[in-house]
Structure formats: C-alpha cells, structure tokens
Amino acid sequence: MKKTLLLSLATLFTAVPAAAYAGDGGVGNAGIIALAAGLVMGIAALGGTLAQSRIGAAAMEGIARNPQAQPNMFVSMILGLALIESLVIFSFVIAIQIVGKI
C-alpha cells in the first residue's frame, strides 16, 4: 500500500513539470490548470463517495438497532446525503471555472 501511494505521488510530481511545458521554450499554465481541475473532481468524487457510504452504513446500523427511530433517521440521512452531494456539485462548478481559464 505504501509503495503504491509513494509511486503515485512520485508520478504526479514528475508529471506536473511536463504538463506545464508549453513546447515553444516557455512555460505555460494550461497543463497545470487542467491537472488542477482533474484533481478537484477526483478528490471531490472520492470524498463524497466515502462520506455517503459512511452515512448509509451508519443509518442502516441505527435502523437495525432501533426500528422505531427509522423516520427520524431517514430524514437526517437524506439531509446529510443532499449536503454532501451539493459539495461535490460545487466542486464540479469550480472545476468548470478552472478549465474556463485555459
């Protein structure tokens, strides 16, 4: 696991200068901006997925332990899922704005 993480980080950090190279001898920002937009979407999707899975698991465990509290837990669960999904959508909007700077 540690080797995979280290290899991924090494690949990322060596790819950033290559993405920034403009080809005409100068350094451009288009590659770094595109990389930033991709990272924004990837991290937001990963974080949103992990948070939603934890909320779902906790709600199912709570409902299994106390079935009478299902209506209250369901409303809280849906509210939490909607707020997490809105954060992922906001990150998508930010990524679109970042790409718009290219």
Q: 92 Cβ partners below 8 Å, 6+ apart? A: 41, 44
- The string of pLDDT tens digits covering residues 4-40 is 877 777 776 666 665 555 555 555 677 778 888 888 8
Strand partners, 27: 21
CATH number for the region 29-99 comes to 1.20.20.10
In this structure, how many other beta carbons lie within 10 angstroms of the beta carbon of residue 101? 11
Provide, rounded to the nearest whole percent, the portion of the chain with pLDDT above 90: 29
Three-class SS of residue 49? Answer: helix
